[in-house]
Structure 1
Amino acid sequence: MSDETSPFGALRGQLLDAAETFANSPAGVSGILSEMVDDVDRALREELEIFPVCHHSPASALAMVRRLREKQPKVIYLELCEDLQPLLTELRNCRLPVAVQAFATDLDGFPKDWAPLSVVAPITEASAEYQAIAYALDTPGVELVLVDRSTDHVYQWAPEQRPAAKGEEAGLHGDAVGVELGDLRPRFAELEEHLLRHGKVRHWSEWWDQYVEQPLAGADYDTYRQVMVMIGSLFRRLRPEDDDRTAVDEERERYMWTRMREHQAATGADPADCLYVCGAFHAASRVEQFGVRSTAPYEISPRTGTTWLYGLIPSSHSAIEAQFGLAPGSVSIAAATWSKALTRGGLKPFRLAGQKGAPQRPAKLPVPAPAGEVADRLSGFLSRPPALDALDEAELLGWCVDIVRLARRNGYLASTADAIAVYETSILLAGLRNRARPTPYDFQDAAVTCIEKDTVPGRRDVRHLCEILLGGDRVGEVGYDAMPPLARDVLDRLAPLGLDLERRTIQRALIDLHAHPELAPCSDLLWKLRYLLPADAARPIMGERRLGERSIQESWDLAIGKYQRAIIELGYEGVTVEQVLEQRLRRAVRAPDATAAVALAAVEDALLFLGSRRVADELGARAVELLAAERTVDDAPEVLRRIRGLLAYYRTVEPELPAWCGAFVTTGYAHYCTLLPTAFVDDDTGVRQVAAMLGFLCTMESLALALGCERAQLELAVRQSHPESPAKVALMWAARHQLGLLSLAELRARCDELLANPLVVPAFPHYLIGFVHAMEPVPALSGFVVEVISKAFGRLPDPVLLPWLPKLIVALRDGAGELMPALVKEAGRTFPGSLTAVDAWTPPWSSAKPVPTSAAAQPMAGPATDLLAGHPAACDAVAELLGCAGEWRPRTAAPPGVQEVTALLTTHHHTATAVATLLT
C-alpha cells in the first residue's frame, strides 16, 4: 500500500524526518521505523481482528473489557497451549491467582533425565486473558479456542538441554517452564539498558509502568492497538539475529494461524465475529502463514508418547515475578493499578460466575458497535503529553498517611512530618525523573528515604511495607471441586481432625489414639504425607513410627494449605496416597543408581506406611538382586543396620522369615566373603565399611550356616586378608579371634608389644579405632577394648600420651561415634562406681598370671581341673561339636589348648569354682 492511501503515511513521514535529524546513520534507522509502520498497518488491516496484549498488564485488561463489551465476539482465539483448554472451566472453583499446569513423569520421546516435565500458565484477574476466558465461558453462544502449541511441543521445540524456569527461585511454580502470554520485553540487552538509563528507572517493570501502562490506561481502543503493535514490532526488529528464540517464536505463529484457519474451515465462523488474543510481539508477525486468507502450508508435527497430566495449582504475585523475571512487587502494583482504573472509569470487569467476588449471573452486554475504518491514532498519542489526574493526588496523600501508620505499627518512629516529607519527596522524585505524576515506584523510594533511618526495628523494612500497602503478595487457592481425586481424598480423610486444612497458616493437630482410636486412620495418612510431601507440610512434634513401635499420643504441625501445590501434583501420580507411595517405592528400587541399602529402606517404608507384605517381599527380592550386583562396600554399614532391624521385626511378628530375607543373608554372606580380602587392602575402603562387612558375616553367621552356607568361606577370606593400615590390622586380629584363630591371651600380648614399642606408639590411636570398630562384629571384645585403652593411659608417660590424646578423641568421635555408648557402658561395668573404691580397686586383667609357653608346663590344679577330669565324656562331646580333636594325657603333660583354657579359668576362677560347686 502506498503512503498516499495508507492511514499511516503522515506518521511514516514524521518518523523518517526524525531519523534524518537525530540519527547518526539515518538509512538504517529510517528502515526500521518504516518497517514498524508497515507492521502496524498490516496487523490492523488483517480481516481477523488481532488484540495485542502484554502479560499481567492492567492496560491490556482494561482495553479487553471495553472491547468485549463493544464487539461481543462469537469466537475468541487465545494464545495458550491448546491442551490446557479443559482446565479453564475449573477456574470458577478457585481464588486467583492460580496457574494451569501440565505435568509429566512418564516420558516417551524426551530424555529421561528431563523428568519431571512441568508447564504452567499463571492467571490473574488483572490480565486480558482472564477477562477473555470469563467472557467466553459465561456468555452463551461464545466459543473459546486455545490455538498455541501444545505442552508437548513446548519441550519438542526446546533446545537439547532441558529448558529451565526463569529465575532460580520460582516460588510456588517450582522449576516449571512458564508459558507467558504477551512476553513484551526487549530481547536486546543494549536496548533495555538504553531504555532504563534514559527513562531514569531502575528496572524494566518500572519503565513499562511509566511509559506504557499509565498512558494506555485511559486510551481508546484504536490507540491501544496501534501502540501495542508498534512496541511489539520495535522489540522484534531490534532483537539479535542469532537469538535462539526467533525460530521458536515463528514456529508458534505458524502453529496458531494454522489452527485458526482449521477452526474456521471446520465451523464456518465469520472472521468478523472472531477475536485473536495474542502477545503484541506475535501481532507484528511476518511469517508467510499470517492472516486467515493465507494459503501457505504448514504441517504440525505429532506429539510424542509422553503421558501428560493436567490440573490447577495455586500461584502468587511473587511466584509470577520470580518465574518471569519481573521486579519484586510489580504484579502487586499492577493489581492496584487495575483496581484504581476500574474505579476511575466505572468499568465492570468480567468474572466467572461462582468465583469468589463474582456476580451470580453474567452482566448484560450492550449492542455491539459496527467496526470503523483504520485511522492513525499513533501520531496524536506520541506527541501528546499525559494528562494530570486529580485522583492521583488524592491517592498519593492516602498512601503517605497509610505508610506512616503502617510504619508505626512495625516499630518505626514515624510522625505526621514524615508523611508530609514522603509526599513532597515523591513529587520531587517524579520531577527529577521527568514524570508528570508520582508513580508507586517514586512513592516507594520516597518512603524509604524519609522513614527508614539507620536500622530496621522489626522484621519488615519500609520497601516491604510499601508492597503490603499497595496490595501485598496475593496467594491463590484451588477450590475443592477443582482438585484431583487424591487431593480431595486427603482433605476428606483428615476431616475428623476438625481443622481448616485449606488455611495457609500452620495448625496444631493433637491425636490421642488411646482416647480416640477412630483417629488412627488420620495418623496413618499423616505419616504417609510426611514421607511424600516437603518436611514442613506435615511435621511431627511428638510421636514417632518405627518398625514394631507406634506412638499412643501424637502432635503435628500441619501446613496443608500452604503446600496445596505439592498435594495436587501427587494427584498427577495416582488416585490415592497409597498408590503414589507404592509407585515411588518401586521406582526408587528400579532407578539406575539404586543400591541394596536403598531397597532395604524401601522395604522398611513399605512395612511402616503401607503394611503390605506383598510389596515388601517384592522390594526385598529386588534388594537381593542389587546386593549381588554391587562391586563396592560403601553402603555396608547401612545394609547391616537395616537388615538387622528387619530381621528383628520379622522374628517378632511373623512365624517364619520371608524367603527374601534368607536369600539376602546367604547372598550377603557369600558376597562379603568374596570382597573381604580386597576391602582390607583397598585404601578407598574405610575401616567402618570393613567393620560392617565383618559385622554382617559374624552376626549373621548362624542364620547363614543354617541356610546352607559354609564357615570355611569366612575362614578362607580372613586368612587371605593382609591389611597394612593399623586400624584394619586391629580389625583383622579381632576377626581371627572371633574365628578361634587367635586367642585372647595372644591378642593381649600383641597389644602389649605395641605399647612397648616406641616406634608404634604414635600410631596406637589408629589401632584403638580398629578395636573400637571391632565391637561391631565381635561385641564380646568391648571389655578388651576398655582394657587396652586403660593400659595405654596407665603405662604411657605424659610426653607420649598428651600429644596423641586429641587425635584419639577426634578419631573416636568421627569414626566410631555410634559405638561409643557401648564402650562407655562397658567401662562403667569395669571401673568402680565411687571414688572411695578406686584406691582398693584392682583391674581384672592385672590379676591374670602369665601363661607358660613350654609344653611341659604344669596346668593349674583346682576345682575346674577336677571338673574337666571328672567328666571326660562331656568334654569330648563339646570338643567334637567345636571341631577340636585331641586325646587325654596325664596331668603332667599339657594337651593342646590347655594354655588358653588355663588362662581363661585363672582370670575367672571365682566363676569356675561356683560352677564346679553347682555341678558337684
Structure 2
Amino acid sequence: MTNDPFGALRRQLDDAAATFADSHETLAEILTGLVDDVDRALRERLEIFPVCHHSPASALAMARRLREKTPSVIYLELCEDMRPILAELHNCELPVALQAFASRLDGHDPGSGPLSVIAPITEASAEYQAIAYALQTPGVELVLVDRSTDHVFQWAASTEPDADPDTKTEPEDSALHGDAVGVEIGDLRPRFAELEEHLLHHGKVRHWSEWWDQYVEQPLVGADYATYRQVMALIGSLFRRLTPPDSRRFAVDLDRERYMWTRIREHLSESGADPDSCMYVCGAFHASSRVDEFGLDAPPTSFTITPRTETKWLYGLIPSSHSAIESQFGLAPGSVSIATATWKKARSRTRVKPFALTSKLKNGTLSTAVVPAPRRPVDDQLTGFLGEPPDVRGLDEEELLGWCVDIVRLARKNGYLASTADAIAVFETSILLAGMRHRARPTPYDFQDAAVTCIEKETVPGRRDVRHLCEILLGGDRIGRVGYDALPPLARDVFDRLKPLGIESSKRTVQRVLIDLTARPELAPAARLLWMLRYLLPSHIVRNIMGACTLDEKSIQESWDVSLGRDVRPLIELGYEGVTVEQVLEQRLRRVAWADKATAATALAAVEDAIVFLDNPRLVDELGNRAVELLAAERTVDDAPEVLRRIRRLLAYYRTRGTTLPGWSESFVKVGYAHYCTLLPTAFVDDQTGIRQVAAMIGFLVTMEALALSLGCDRAQLELAVKQSHPESPGKVALRWAAQFQLGTLTLVELRERCDSLLANPLVVGSFPSYLSGFVQTLESIPRLTSFVVELLSKAFGRLPDTVLLPWLPKLIKTFKDQAPDLVPLLAREAGRTFPARLGALNAWVPPWLAAPSAPVVDVAAHGPVAALLDRHREPTDALSTLLGCEGEWAPVSADAPMGSASTELLAAHPESAASLAVLVG
C-alpha cells in the first residue's frame, strides 16, 4: 500500500485550480482539502460508513458490507436514549418513526411543552439495514451514540432565537408527525444556498431531490463498496467545507461529532471490543469531521457531556408515511416513493439480499456468523469514478412503456379523458425532456413532467392531479403500521375494550359503529369509553354522529365514526400519559383546574366533565373545592356568565337526582354571593366590564339568593351593593333599575314612569336600545320583567315618529344581536302571548298596560300567595280596614319579610280587633 494513494488525484485537482481559477491557492486548498478529508476518514482505525438518509444506494452498500464484514459492534448516529424501543420494530410495518415524548417538563421551559422528537425509518435506508442485522444476529451489539433527546432541546434552548438548527419541524397541515422535531441520519444537502442553486441550474433539475437521484443515487447504486464510501465522504466534505463556519447549525454539528466520538471511545474502553470488528454508521457530513475528538487515537480533550434534565421522557413507535417524511425534512413530493421504487429495482438487478425484521424468524436468528473481515488497504477509487463518462445505457423502453400505459389507466379512473394517444405522447415527451436535460434515458421526474404536460392540460377533474397519480404509480404514499404488540399499554387496553364493537387496530378504514343500549346494555362501558376518547383525541378520530352524553341527557342509541386503526398516533401519545384512559382523563382535568391561568369557570367545566365521564365523587369534590378557591381569588368578572350557566346546571343536576347538595356546591354559592356583592358597585362603573357580565352577576345573586340566605348570607349586603352602584352607561342603568325592582325598592309604576320619560326625551331616545338591552339581559333571572320589556317595545313602535324610528331600528337590532342573542327568543314568546293571535282581533285589542286601573299598583307577586291574594281582592280588605278604623294606603310589602308577615304585623298591632272579628265570625 502506498503512503499517499490519492497523490495523483491531488495533482490533477491542483492543475485544474491553476487552469480555471484566478486565485489558484484558494481553490487548490478547497479541492485538495476534499481529498485530504476522504483520506483522513478512510485511514481511521474504526471503519466509518457514511450514509445519506433514505438512500437506496446507502442501503444496498450497507447490506453488502454487513454480509462481508459481519461486525460485532455497530455505532449508529441516532439518539442514544431511543435504543430500548428498537426491538419493537419487528412488530411494525414500515415506514414508522421512533418517538420520544415528554409532557411534564423539569429543566426545560414549561411553556414549550409537550416536547416530541421523531426519527423516521424506511426500508430503503442504511440505518434500518444496520438495525435489522444487529437485532437478528447473535453476538452483535448495537450502540446509539448521538446526543439524547433531552440534549436536543437543551441545545435548542442554547441557540435561541433560532430553533435547533439540526432539526426540522413539520408544517401544520402535514399528517402523522404533527409538530414533532425530526432528527435524521445523514442529512446531506448543501448548506450554502448559492452552491445548491448552481447545482440545480447546471444539472437542469427543479429541486434537490431530483439532482441527488440523477447525479449521486443512480451512479452509486451499482458501485462497489470502496467507491461508494469514498464518493460519499467526498460529497460530505464538499458540503462541510462550504458551510458558513459562524452558523449556529454548524456549531451544533461540531458538538454532535464531539458527543458521538466521546461515546464511542467510552464504549470501547468499557467493553474492550476490537475496533477492527466495529463499524461507525453516520451521515456523510460527519464522516470527514475536523473536531479534535475525531478518531480513536485522538488526545484527551476538555469536552464534557452535560447531564440530562429531570424531564421524564417516554418512548414509542408511531406510524409514518412517505409524504410525512418528505414534508418534515424538506424533500420534494414523491421523492421517498421514487427512492423506494429504485430500491426494489436495484435489489432485483444486483441480487443483494437485504436484512429485514420479521415477527416470526427462522430459528429466531440469522445464520450469519460474526467473523470480522480483514482490513482492506486504501486504494484510490475516486479518480476512476470522477473520470468515467456518464452512464451510456440506452433507454429501457419496456419500463417507460409500462409507466405510460399505467398512468393513462389511472388517469381514466380519476376522471381524465385520456387515451392511447396520450400514452404515446407521454412516451415521446419523456424521451424529449431527457434529451433536453442531457440524460441518456428518462428519469421518473422526466416522466412526471411529461405526464402532467400531456394529460392534465388545464383542469383537474377529481381530487388527484396527474403528479399525484405518478407518485401513486411509482410507489404511492405508503403509510406504516404499528403492530398491536408494539403499542403502549393504554392503546392495547382501548382496543381490548372496544372489541365488542368490532373495532380493531388492524383496520385502517373509518368504521361506522351503531350501538343500541336498550337491546344490548352490556355495550354501555364501550360506549362510555368512546365518549372519553372523543374528549381526549382530535375530533376526526372518534366522531359522534348520533347520541349525547351530558349532565342533562344520556342517549339510548348512538352512532359513531371511528378511525383509531388508521389514525393511531394520537392514541399512542395518549399512552405516554398513563396506563388507562380514565387515569389520563383524571390527570387532564386536574391539570386544567390547577393551571396558572385557571378560572372558576374552567374548574366548573372540569367538575362537569368529571361527573359525566368518571364515577369518582372524590375527584368531583376536589375539583369543586378548587373552583371555590379560584372564585374567591378572582378580581374580575369576565367569566361571570359562564360561571352562572355552569353552576345553575350543576345544581339542577343534583336536585333532579334527589340527593343532597355536595359541600363544595354550597360553599361555591355562599362564596359567590359575597364575592359578587363586593364587586358589583365596581363592575357597574367599570368601562371594561360589559353589561352581559354585570347581568350575570345580578342573575347569580338573584337566582342563588334563597340558597345563599339559607346558608347564612345576609340580604342586606346585596341591598347595600345596589345602593352603592352608580352606573352611567344606559345598559347598566337599566340593570340597576331591574335589580332595584327585584329587591322591591322600585315599583313597577315608578319603573314605567322612568322609561316613559326616556321615550319622551328626544335627547335620550337614541340610546334607548341600550336600555332595552340591559332589561333583556335580566329576563332569565328576573322573568317578571318580560311583559314589561314587551310593553316598552310596543310603546316605542307606537309613539316614535318614522323620522326617529327608522334610523333607530338598525341600532336596536344590532344591540340585541351583539348583547342578548340568546334571550331574544324569550322575548318573542312573551310577545306572542301578549298580542292577539289573529289579525281580526287587533282592532278591538287593548294592551294590558292600558287596561290596568289608574290607581297605584303594588307589585307584591314576589312576597307569597297571601300577599298576592290580598292585592287581587282589595275590596274586602278595604271594608275590613274601615270597620276596624284603620286608615292608610296600599304600600309594597317588605322584600325581606317572610310570607304573610304584613298580615301578622297588622294583627299584632290590633289584637282586640282580631278578637272581636273572631267573635263576630263565630
1:722 and 2:726 aligned: yes
- Whether contact under 8 Å (2:138, 2:365) holds in the other structure is no
**One-letter amino acid of the structure 1 residue matched with residue 324 of structure 2:** A
Pair 1:384–1:812, CA change in 2 (3 A): same
- Whether contact under 8 Å (1:427, 1:438) holds in the other structure is yes
Distance 1:648 1:899 in 2: 29
Distance 1:845 1:655 in 2: 43
Distance 2:698 2:844 in 1: 39
Partner of residue 461, structure 1: 465
- Whether contact under 8 Å (1:353, 1:362) holds in the other structure is no
Offset of residue 26 of structure 1:
2.4
Candidates 657, 660, 663, aligned match of 1:659 = 663
- Whether contact under 8 Å (1:313, 1:478) holds in the other structure is yes
Distance 1:502 1:654 in 2: 46
- Whether contact under 8 Å (2:137, 2:368) holds in the other structure is no
Pair 1:128–1:509, CA change in 2 (3 A): same
1:98 and 2:57 aligned: no
Distance 1:535 1:764 in 2: 44
Candidates 136, 146, 149, aligned match of 1:148 = 146
Candidates 310, 317, 327, aligned match of 1:305 = 310
Offset of residue 108 of structure 1:
1.3
1:229 and 2:233 aligned: yes
Offset of residue 226 of structure 1:
0.5
Offset of residue 173 of structure 1:
1.2
Pair 1:478–1:675, CA change in 2 (3 A): same
**One-letter amino acid of the structure 2 residue matched with residue 119 of structure 1:** V
Distance 1:519 1:895 in 2: 65
Cα deviations by residue, 1:495-553 (Å, 9 ceiling, x for unpaired): 00023443232110000000000100111100000000000111110001111421000
Pair 1:676–1:65, CA change in 2 (3 A): same
- Whether contact under 8 Å (2:170, 2:178) holds in the other structure is no
**One-letter amino acid of the structure 2 residue matched with residue 519 of structure 1:** L
Cα deviations by residue, 1:475-510 (Å, 9 ceiling, x for unpaired): 111100001100000000000002344323211000
Distance 1:888 1:494 in 2: 81
Offset of residue 167 of structure 1:
3.7
Residues 29-40 of structure 1: matches in 2 within 5 Å? 29-40=27-38
Offset of residue 820 of structure 1:
1.6
1:584 and 2:584 aligned: no
1:440 and 2:444 aligned: yes
1:166 and 2:169 aligned: yes
- For the residue of structure 1 that corresponds to 2:840, the secondary structure is coil
- Whether contact under 8 Å (1:69, 1:368) holds in the other structure is no
Considering only aligned residues, what root-mean-square deviation do their CA atoms show, in Å?
Answer: 2.3
Candidates 707, 710, 722, aligned match of 2:711 = 707
Partner of residue 914, structure 1: none
- For the residue of structure 2 that corresponds to 1:158, the secondary structure is helix
1:864 and 2:873 aligned: yes
- Whether contact under 8 Å (1:82, 1:145) holds in the other structure is yes
Offset of residue 408 of structure 1:
1.1
Segment of structure 1 superposing worse, 675-684 or 224-233: 675-684
Segment of structure 1 superposing worse, 759-768 or 490-499: 759-768
Segment of structure 1 superposing worse, 783-792 or 161-170: 161-170
1:247 and 2:247 aligned: no
Offset of residue 654 of structure 1:
5.2
1:751 and 2:755 aligned: yes
**One-letter amino acid of the structure 2 residue matched with residue 756 of structure 1:** A
Cα deviations by residue, 1:595-652 (Å, 9 ceiling, x for unpaired): 1100000000000011211101100111111111111111110000000001111122
Pair 1:178–1:890, CA change in 2 (3 A): same
**One-letter amino acid of the structure 2 residue matched with residue 751 of structure 1:** C
**One-letter amino acid of the structure 1 residue matched with residue 326 of structure 2:** E
Partner of residue 881, structure 1: none
Offset of residue 863 of structure 1:
8.0
Partner of residue 516, structure 2: 512
- For the residue of structure 1 that corresponds to 2:98, the secondary structure is strand
Cα deviations by residue, 1:724-763 (Å, 9 ceiling, x for unpaired): 1111111111011011111001111111111111122211
Instruction: Provide structure 1 residue ranges, at least 5 long, that are not aligned to the other structure.
Output: 854-860, 873-886, 901-918
1:194 and 2:198 aligned: yes
Distance 2:519 2:723 in 1: 60
Offset of residue 679 of structure 1:
1.1
Distance 1:143 1:495 in 2: 39
Q: TM-score, normalised by structure 2?
A: 0.92
- For the residue of structure 2 that corresponds to 1:294, the secondary structure is coil
Partner of residue 326, structure 1: 331
- Whether contact under 8 Å (1:502, 1:560) holds in the other structure is no
Partner of residue 905, structure 2: none
Partner of residue 854, structure 2: 850
- Whether contact under 8 Å (2:69, 2:372) holds in the other structure is yes
- For the residue of structure 1 that corresponds to 2:482, the secondary structure is coil
- Whether contact under 8 Å (2:51, 2:283) holds in the other structure is yes
Offset of residue 347 of structure 1:
1.7
Cα deviations by residue, 1:203-239 (Å, 9 ceiling, x for unpaired): 1111111111111111111110011011111111001
Distance 1:389 1:361 in 2: 43
Residues 754-773 of structure 1: matches in 2 within 5 Å? 754-773=758-777
Offset of residue 158 of structure 1:
1.4
- Whether contact under 8 Å (1:650, 1:657) holds in the other structure is yes
Offset of residue 370 of structure 1:
3.5
1:73 and 2:79 aligned: no
Offset of residue 563 of structure 1:
2.2
Segment of structure 1 superposing worse, 236-245 or 806-815: 806-815
- For the residue of structure 2 that corresponds to 1:817, the secondary structure is coil
Pair 1:78–1:897, CA change in 2 (3 A): closer
Cα deviations by residue, 1:361-381 (Å, 9 ceiling, x for unpaired): 666549875432111111111
Offset of residue 667 of structure 1:
1.1
Candidates 526, 538, 545, aligned match of 1:541 = 545
Partner of residue 816, structure 1: 820
Partner of residue 778, structure 1: 782
Residues 837-916 of structure 1: matches in 2 within 5 Å? 837-851=841-855, 864-869=873-878, 893-894=888-889, 896-897=891-892
- Whether contact under 8 Å (1:353, 1:361) holds in the other structure is no
Offset of residue 24 of structure 1:
3.7
**One-letter amino acid of the structure 2 residue matched with residue 894 of structure 1:** E
- Whether contact under 8 Å (2:488, 2:572) holds in the other structure is yes
- Whether contact under 8 Å (1:109, 1:304) holds in the other structure is yes
Candidates 506, 523, 526, aligned match of 2:527 = 523
Candidates 540, 563, 566, aligned match of 2:567 = 563
Offset of residue 428 of structure 1:
1.4
Pair 1:818–1:7, CA change in 2 (3 A): same
1:208 and 2:218 aligned: no
Pair 1:504–1:890, CA change in 2 (3 A): farther
1:15 and 2:13 aligned: yes
Q: Which runs of 4+ in 1 moved over 6 A?
A: 358-361
Cα deviations by residue, 1:670-704 (Å, 9 ceiling, x for unpaired): 11111111111111111111100110011111111
- For the residue of structure 2 that corresponds to 1:438, the secondary structure is coil
- For the residue of structure 2 that corresponds to 1:549, the secondary structure is coil
- Whether contact under 8 Å (2:207, 2:332) holds in the other structure is yes
- For the residue of structure 1 that corresponds to 2:100, the secondary structure is strand
Offset of residue 829 of structure 1:
1.6
Partner of residue 880, structure 1: none
Offset of residue 662 of structure 1:
1.1
- Whether contact under 8 Å (2:426, 2:447) holds in the other structure is yes
- Whether contact under 8 Å (1:404, 1:418) holds in the other structure is yes
Distance 2:553 2:891 in 1: 50
Distance 1:39 1:738 in 2: 89
Offset of residue 786 of structure 1:
1.0
- Whether contact under 8 Å (1:691, 1:776) holds in the other structure is no
Q: Percent same amino acid at aligned positions?
A: 70
Partner of residue 425, structure 2: 421
Instruction: Provide structure 2 residue ranges, at least 5 long, that are not aligned to the other structure.
Output: 858-869, 896-920
Pair 1:395–1:50, CA change in 2 (3 A): same
- Whether contact under 8 Å (2:490, 2:575) holds in the other structure is yes
- For the residue of structure 1 that corresponds to 2:304, the secondary structure is coil
Cα deviations by residue, 1:284-321 (Å, 9 ceiling, x for unpaired): 10111111222323422211111111111111111111
Pair 1:862–1:217, CA change in 2 (3 A): closer
**One-letter amino acid of the structure 2 residue matched with residue 91 of structure 1:** L
**One-letter amino acid of the structure 2 residue matched with residue 867 of structure 1:** P
**One-letter amino acid of the structure 2 residue matched with residue 865 of structure 1:** R
- Whether contact under 8 Å (1:165, 1:175) holds in the other structure is no
**One-letter amino acid of the structure 2 residue matched with residue 124 of structure 1:** T
- Whether contact under 8 Å (1:786, 1:826) holds in the other structure is yes
Count of matched residue positions in the alignment of Structure 1 and Structure 2: 878
